[in-house]
Chains A and B, each alone.
Chain A
Amino acid sequence: MGKRVLVIEDEANISEAIRYILSKDGWEVDTHADGADAAARVSAAPPDLLILDVMLPGRSGYDILDALRAAEATRALPVLMLTAKGQTADRERAARHGATRFMTKPFANADLVAAARAMMAPT
């Protein structure tokens, strides 16, 4: 294992929870809180998996995803979107912007681990 995951989440407590959960599952977890320079951070060192919050200060998760999908290096990067607005419209919007998976907050820790693992499974 030892896959690298980058968590872009402005809520420190949530970010810490994800870090703990995935670390325990054997992931190498990095966290980032600001939206504005998130895309640059991803491009600089693309992780194996990106967990992206929608409501970010500076730049919204959708904008960041658009930028990543537009760039060659991150076009196929698996992205798990997290949002606290769990309506169907938000799910569709995430798919349209190119999210690989979508989870609403709050989530079960086991579901997060399962999703992360599934996204790493060979296709």
Chain B
Amino acid sequence: MSINLLVLACLVYVAFLFAVAFAVERRADRGQATWLRSSLIYTLSLSVYCTAWTFYGAVGYAARSGLEFMTIYLGPTLVFVGWWLMLRKLVRIGKQQRVTSIADLISARYGKSNTLGVIVTLLCIAAATPYIALQLQSIALSFAAFAQDLPAAHFTERQDLFALWVAVGLALFTILFGTRNLDANEQHPGVVTAIAVEAVVKLLALVAVGVFVVWAVADGPGDILGRIEAAARPEWQIQPGRWVGLIFLAGVAIICLPRMFQVMVVENADERHLATASWAFPLYLFAMSLFVLPIAVVGLEIMPEGANPDLFVMTLPMTLGQDGLAMLAFLGGFSAATSMVIVSTIALATMVSNHIMVPLWLHLRAGATARRGDMRGLVLNSRRLAICVLLGFGYVYYVVTGGSAALAAIGLIAFVGVAQILPALLGALFWRAANRIGAGLGIGVGFAVWLYALFLPSFGPGVFISAQVMAAGPFGIDWLRPYALFGVEMDPLLHALFWSLTLNAVAFIAGSLLGFPRPLERVQAAQFVNAFDIQAGTRGWSQSAAEAEDLLAMAQRILGTAESQRFFQSHAGAQGKAGFLPDTTPQFLDALERKLAGSVGAATAHAMIEQIVGRAMVSVEDLMAVASETAQIMEYSSQLEAKSAELERTARQLREANDMLTKLSVQKDAFLSQISHELRTPMTSIRAFSEILMDAEGMSDDDQVKYARIIHDETIRLTRLLDDLLDLSVLENGQVNLDVQRARLGDLLDRAVLASNSVRPGRDFVIHRDPAAEAVEVETDTGRLAQVFINVLSNARKYCDAEHPVMTISVARDGGMIEVDFADNGSGIPSDKQALIFEKFARLTDQMQAGGAGLGLAICREIMHNLQGEIAYVPGQGGAAFRVRFPQRLETEAPARALSAA
């Protein structure tokens, strides 16, 4: 077959892919590509995992190591079957945060640290370089296989030239597809569809070769199984340690590989596609792996000794004269290689432009305002440049390593490299305490170990690491030998995997535990770890045509209907549009934001508009601002609440004080009115009789004496009233000076009885006493106590209405208190009056009979308060009964009772 024909086939195939991609992009731009964003396309695009390594290399791998190649399929299968645990969250967060790459995800989670973004980008480039080289090598090898008719001298040279042309072609292809325009969501429906087509082609090619081998070369499955058993070699023995390690490695790779992240998360159109892919993708992998061993076994039988088993898929049909099948196999391998290179370089170019070139450019041109057009051009050009550079790296790696290494080995080196992202990624999704220091340290340490123990040695002794270091360690330090760190000797791949990930994880955890996350990191940590509790998100991806209407609806909620409509109408008018819905230009959004900010604050207004417009996800800074504004509002609110409660308390106190004052005022008025009455009454008599005596002509001497006596008595009455008022005032204000003395209770009662005898002296008044009980020493203001006794006894003498009044005085002791009861045998005080008798001027009976001002019991009550005791009316004793209760020993240290109830 002519090499020219091969090149022509390639060009036609590429043109076809380009047409597919172009058509899809066109439809997507018109919004008609919904069927293309299906779970089928999504699943097929995931097959970018199956590179030329898988297509060619798996057969070679099987030929060399038996079933071990299956591990590369088993790892991803396990991850997808268990998609609910990890992938679902990854995709959800990717959408919520509008993540553009795995470097972006790590950077966003750890406080938008660009340093981390740069580290991850560099790691991914380093890991992808050999991988891209692998694809170039496979295409070059396959070209070379077709070019065997050329002179041998040109072989190696031609192969390198092939590789160079392939690299250039792929760069062009990727630039055309991947950087055609700057998509807001970093999604490339055209590329994804082309990848899906390639997925079908590579599967068809492999299955076609497999069917040919099983049914045309061998005699069906039974024969093949027999041949496989016969071909079994000692090195095909399953090594459990290597199996576990490789399954783990492949599982990690499918999560961490930049190109997998690109198709799985960034290009994902609907989270539900993941559910379909969880069973469909393992099925695809199963189909891809089904014929690997048969092809390998038959190839080993038929192909001459020394033939490269990596190329059996293509060389086997070629050797058997099936040129058409060989061509299909070539296109399958070409598909596998190109899809990987295209997606990888797109993903890596995005990282390079977003994390390295644009920040660098902005840094260099700090201060200069970047116009939108400039930025777009910058981003696209930086990506184009990155694609060229990355393919250049791949080509250089291919040339330097001489294209001699087995395909599978190169792929595994790349896997271990990207696996260094795993600890930081797991921490990002599941561990809130993980921070950027830990992530940076972990990835950095893992990166270094990977470089030293696997990547650099892969160039071969003498290129980066000398044979002497490989054998004896740097500076002769034995435990630092790249393939035997800390003296542990094992399979170099597993060795590097083990040490890089172990040290990585230790550094990550230690850094996270020892470092303090910034506030931004805390917020992001919460958003990532609790991704499923956050409701907002997916909406931001779809651009709504009803944007202006949504904005109006929102504005109405905040500004009110009339105000909002006026605002929208005026802006629509300014744009030359009728109605209420202006175009959502940046100017309009700015104005609206400022308008809303007046009502709800700047951060919230910004966040609300962004939520509806969906141009950019609400940034963490915005959320922080919202949070702090909200916190401030809450603080103000709680302060206001406290103030309000305080005011309420004050108001209640004022109300109570006012009520009290009003009551006091009423009482004062009533008291003054009473005083007036009590003073005017004797003064009326005094004035009347003195006027009578002034004109005493013809009046008998007896009458004159009688009237003079009345005047005399009334002045005494007045004086006593004034004395009582002063006494009461002093007692009520607690200003009384108590004259504490010791005395026998009986003596005090004797004094009181004697003093009260002057009241109604002519009347028979029997008093029963209990001298034994009265023989008790008291220490109090004896004068005041006697005053109370006199008042009670006098009242009894005045008011007892019994025909033969009898007073019984009994004494009881209750702890340190003494109770003296005075009970007469009268009709007593009616129960409705009992509460009144201790009030001022509460005279129940006739004025003259009482002969006092009605202050006596009020004074008694105040005296007893001052003596830390009390006086009370005791109902149900057959007559009027008063109980005087006081402490036997007055505590003089205790302050005298202050103002009693007025």
Give A contacts to B, CB under 8 Å.
10-14, 16-18, 20-21, 33, 55, 57, 84-87, 104-110
Contact = CB atoms under 8 A, between A and B. Distances in A.
Contacts of A57: 845-847
A14 to B, nearest CB: 5
B685 interface: yes
A11 B848 contact: yes
Interface string B825-856: 00000000000000000000111100000000
B847 A11 contact: yes
A85 B674 CA distance: 8
B676 interface: yes
Nearest to A55: B677
A57 B847 CA distance: 8
B673 A87 contact: yes
A51 B237 CA distance: 140
B688 A86 contact: no
A110 B691 CA distance: 9
Contacts of A84: 676-677, 680-681, 684
A107 B676 contact: no
Contact of B684 (A12, A14, A20, A110): A14
Interface in B663-706: 673, 676-677, 680-681, 683-689, 691-692
B798 to A, nearest CB: 14
B870 interface: no
Nearest to B683: A106
Contacts of A108: 687, 691
Given A84-B676, A85-B677, A17 B847 contact: no
B358 interface: no
A105 B688 CA distance: 10
Contacts of A55: 677
Nearest to B686: A106
B9 interface: no
B6 interface: no
A94 to B, nearest CB: 15
B695 to A, nearest CB: 8
A59 to B, nearest CB: 13
A106 to B, nearest CB: 4
B610 interface: no
B680 A20 contact: no
Nearest to A112: B688
B727 interface: no
Contacts of A86: 676, 680
B700 to A, nearest CB: 12
B217 to A, nearest CB: 132
B599 to A, nearest CB: 60
Contacts of A87: 673
B271 interface: no
Contacts of B683: 105-106
Main secondary structure of the interface of A (DSSP, over half): loop
5 contacts: A11-B685, A13-B685, A13-B714, A14-B681, A85-B673
A29 to B, nearest CB: 14
Interface string B723-764: 000000000000000000000000000000000000000000
Contacts of A18: 688
B833 to A, nearest CB: 14
A20 B836 CA distance: 37
B845 A109 contact: no
Contacts of B406: none
B680 A105 contact: yes
A11 B680 contact: no
A10 B846 contact: yes
B548 to A, nearest CB: 76
B40 interface: no
Contacts of B896: none
A106 B673 contact: no
**Which of B681, B692, B713, B845: most chain A Cβ within 10 A?**
B681
| 4 nearest A-B residue pairs (beta carbon) | A17-B688, A84-B680, A105-B684, A106-B684
Given A12-B848, A17-B692, A107 B684 contact: yes
B817 interface: no
Given A84-B677, A110-B691, 9 more contacts: A11-B684, A13-B685, A13-B713, A14-B684, A85-B680, A105-B683, A106-B684, A106-B687, A106-B688
B710 interface: yes
A10 B692 contact: no
A60 to B, nearest CB: 13
A13 B677 contact: no
A11 B688 CA distance: 13
Nearest to B843: A57
Contacts of B684: 11, 14, 17, 84, 105-107
Contacts of B713: 13
A18 B683 CA distance: 14
A17 B703 CA distance: 12
Nearest to A20: B692
A17 to B, nearest CB: 4
Nearest to A58: B846
A106 B713 CA distance: 16
**Which of B684, B691, B845: most chain A Cβ within 10 A?**
B684
A12 B681 CA distance: 11
Contacts of A104: 680
Contact of A13 (B676, B710, B845): B710
B685 A14 contact: yes
Contacts of A14: 681, 684-685, 688
A31 to B, nearest CB: 13
Contacts of B686: 106
Contact of B688 (A12, A21, A33): A21
A62 to B, nearest CB: 15
Contacts of B692: 17, 20-21, 109
A12 B673 CA distance: 22
A55 B673 CA distance: 12
Nearest to A90: B673
Nearest to A54: B677
Contacts of A107: 684, 687-688
Interface string B703-721: 0000000100110000000
A104 B673 CA distance: 13
A21 B693 CA distance: 11
A10 B848 contact: yes
A11 to B, nearest CB: 6
Nearest to B846: A57
**Which of A17, A18, A57, A110: most chain B Cβ within 10 A?**
A17
Contacts of A105: 680-681, 683-684
A17 B846 CA distance: 19
A102 to B, nearest CB: 14
B799 to A, nearest CB: 13
A75 to B, nearest CB: 29
A106 B677 CA distance: 10
B666 to A, nearest CB: 14
Contacts of B681: 11, 14, 84, 105
**Which of B676, B688, B689, B845: most chain A Cβ within 10 A?**
B688
A33 B686 CA distance: 19
Contacts of A13: 685, 689, 710, 713-714
A38 to B, nearest CB: 14
B879 to A, nearest CB: 21
